Structure 1
Amino acid sequence: MIPKRIQLFCPIIIFLLILFSCQKKKSVTKNEITNSPEVKRLIAVADTLFDNNKFDTAFYYYNEAIFKCNPIKDPENYISTLNRMAIIQQTHGDYAGSEATITKALPYTKYVKNQLHIWNLYVTLSTNYLDTYDYKNAILYNEKALELDTKYWQKLAAQNNIGVALIQDRKFEEALDIFLPLETKEQVVRDKDFYSSLLDNIGLCYFKINDGEKALNYMNRAIKVRQETKNPFGLGKSYIHLAQFYEEQNPGMAKKYMLLSYKEFSKINYVDGRLSALKMIIKNSTYSELRNYSNTYVNLVDSTNEFRQKAKNQFAKIKYDSKREKEENLKLKAHKAENELKLEKQKNRNIISYIIIALSLCLILILYYYLTSKANREKIEAAYNSETRISKKLHDELANDIYHTMAFVENKNLSLTENRAHLLSNLDTIYARTRDISKENCTIITDENYTVLLKEMISGFSTKNINLISNGLDSLSWDEISKTKKITIYRVIQELLVNMRKYSEATLVGINFKATEKNILINYTDNGKGIDTDKIIFKNGLYNVENRILKIKGTIDITSGSNEGFKVFIKVPL
């Protein structure tokens, strides 16, 4: 519902829209003529670059072809070109940009005679949805591809894609219903890559439904075919599935396949595959080996994120520059018509400027009032939550321990040695609990001793059952970081470790600190039981963590899954 103060501005906004519409007294039309030879030349150049993996330059020429192509008169070139552009963006992890590109082609599918172009469009769109975990739409567009009048092997490929989406959606028995009939198809058996992938997927499904004998049989058949074709991508997939198969029953064999998978994916620099293999290796490593692989994983994640962001920016810039160039050409052609309206528009612009300034000032005042009120409410709420949490700890934990100790003293003979020892043990537990509550709420020192204090707090959570590793803490220039951010970092790390000890059942915890020119990066990882991020509820500890980070303009990203550990990435601006 729109607040009353905002509703007051609606008549003014409507007036502005009417005023702008009155300016359109004249319009400039342009006959869109497709320059077919030029479009074909640009596409040919782009295809050559695409085949040679020069994607940035290929994207530029495809984009040039799009601006010269008429989608109604030449829909096949228009759709196929947009499809290639979407594939390039998809390859570089720009899924939002890929979807925006490919959906431009959908309105023109009705003009296409060769349905192969529509099939390619649907498959690319389904792959994009699969990569962004939208399995329902991934299946939907493969079903659309099945309905098209295309060759038999393309229908088989669409069926296989539906099965892959079902695997990702953890519907393994439904996936088997699709995969098993494909196993005997002559076209599938002839295509070694397709056939080995199918066998591996069947083996994975049987593994997920706990039919180990069939799972191992299909996985071994798949790897035999892939070893013949020497396909690093396929071998990497097979090895990582075998590692999952042996992980619980034969850790040594599992570790061997993890390393082989990482090696094969490294040959083709398949980043997602390398990260998946490294994640399993880290989970099954200890001591210095764990540290080395953890550092490799963190560095790979950082470099991948940076590379993908640069690619997104590059593709956006190419689109923007082409659009701007086209708009400038249109402006030059329309310059004469615009001059006739210039004086009248200038008067209206002045009026509109005054109205916009008045609106802006009002909105700023409203926003200031809202943010101030919100900040005051958050302060009161934070104080109340802190008091409630301390009270709950005192009542639920400390008071119960004291009550049981008092009952023990009243009912036991303290002259006996074992009873006195039990009493001392209870008193020690009460002392430790009191000390923990005190540490959680004590004043934090932010002077030159801050690093020592932070290390002591972190090491305090290390027990005989919990191995805690921290890296990079001394590499940060803490003197240049504000007091508020130091306190926030301390409390956030403390809250994460408290949650870990209470709920996660973790045996290994890693905390990595890293500084860039503008940010502090903190990576927290544990091998606990994890949580389902789709069902995560931000309350108590996790709410405090998120709220603290957002208050200092930072960002937080939580990654977890049932029995997959718990990972938190925090970025705090300097």
Structure 2
Amino acid sequence: MTLSKKITQNILQIMLLMVCSFMYAQKEKPTSYYYKSAIHFGNLNKTDSAYFLMKKAKDGYKVLKDNDSIFLCNLKLFDIVGWQENLNKDRLHYLTENEEISTKDKLLLIGLNNRFGVYFFNQNSPEKSASYFHKSIYLTTKIKRPDYKSNVFINLGLLYSKKYQDSANVYLNKALNIIPKENTNKIASVYINLINLYQNQSKFTKAIELLKKTDQLILNEGKLKYKKIIYRKFSECYQRLQDYKKAFQYQSKYITYKDSLDVFNQNKAIKELDEKYKVAEKDKENLELRQKNLLTEQKRKQTQNFLFGSLILLFFGGTIAYLNLKNSRKKRLLAEQQKELEKQKNLTLLKEQEITTINAMVEGQEKERIRIAEDLHDNIGSVLATLKLHFENLKLNREKKHFNQEELYNKTEKLIDETYLKVRSIAHAKNAGVIANQGLLVAIKMMAEKISSANQLNIEIVDFGLDRRLDSNTEITIFRIIQELITNIIKHAEASEATINISHFDDNLNIIIEDNGKGFNPSIIPYNNGMGLGSIKKRVEYLHGNFQIDSAIKRGTSIIINIPL
């Protein structure tokens, strides 16, 4: 094809594109208009109109290939269908459609996982619901959004409240720990969920203590509603404790606030109806004015587009001809440069092969030295730290006799034997042990049980999704990382309790290790000394993971590790 034919073809394509764009602009309203209108009608509880406009917005974003906006429209359609049952639509497919859409927006992914969790919670599928909420926890940790994370903890607390009440208690208290003190309404909501939990467990005295704490909160809004709930709960608890006098007193308060709330809600409903009427009238006027403005603007744009189209055609015609000539020159230069590069590659290839062979030998020797050093530090260091705890207990027990001294001697003797065997296995280049035979989770639990038996540090294991074995080398490396972190807690933290939370979902392994020790300032920790936290960080990076420390003086330490599998 000749140069003139190419130019003619390009000009025709540009003209066709401009004509189509102009016709589309004249006939269609902006896609964002439909989206904003859908949100507006949704706020007015006009569900049918909101659903229709959101579908129009989604279709528009499909034409524009705006994946994030399509993703958002699907989330809103899922919510709109859930507001009103008479729409008679299956809304789950809006979420499953989003699983096929690629997005890097973590907030959109959190919204998707939370909606999946709520949907399966309502469908009595707690395991599915929990898996999606755990995905949200991972994402909120990654983008450092404690406000979103507290909401997920609350959802997990509600999910586990029926069957796993201890877990529900843990997640609700985790939510309390990260909710800002000034957000009293959210704190009151979590307190009420905990009170319901205590009532289900017949812990009425504990429920009353928390009710008193809730009653003292200064609420930002909804005071009547919360007071009504609090006094009803007081009455129920005192009635179950057979303190009928106090039960009657709080029942009277409950009735008083209930009546006040009914009057308040009636006045509020009348006011809302009046405001909606005024808003509807104003919207009608604005819509008529907007339509007039749109007609005027369309006529103006039509004239302007024709003028710009002619100028653009002239500009692009000249530009295309110039670029085609320039491009042919560049191709000739690139071909010559490519030949020269091939010559240089052939000359350097032999040198690189020699250097690679020497580097491989040196690297192999260095890796062997590092492996032996790390095995000594991790294996022997961990056991010796535990031995130190046992000897301290023997020293304390010599006079006070708190423990069975014979049993403590036997445990100490077993640890000494284990130290000898570990030294021997390192000398003969053997490792894996329990990990190779029974797996990562069993090895972690055995380590925790062994350390907890010294009665100075109690370790709790919380696991999720570790049904299948990982690669053997990966399991060993992860075990060494956890073992070293627990050793650091024993040596430095002065902690009495620690938690190892290990979760596996999708293709990610999330490890959170927490203690209630004295804490430290992470910014002054040296990571380049090759041991301790520096060694752990190197191992995590070797597994292509990331490593975060959250600690402060007298507030304990949390270490978060995320490893892709």
TM-score normalized with structure 2 length: 0.38
TM-score normalized with structure 1 length: 0.37
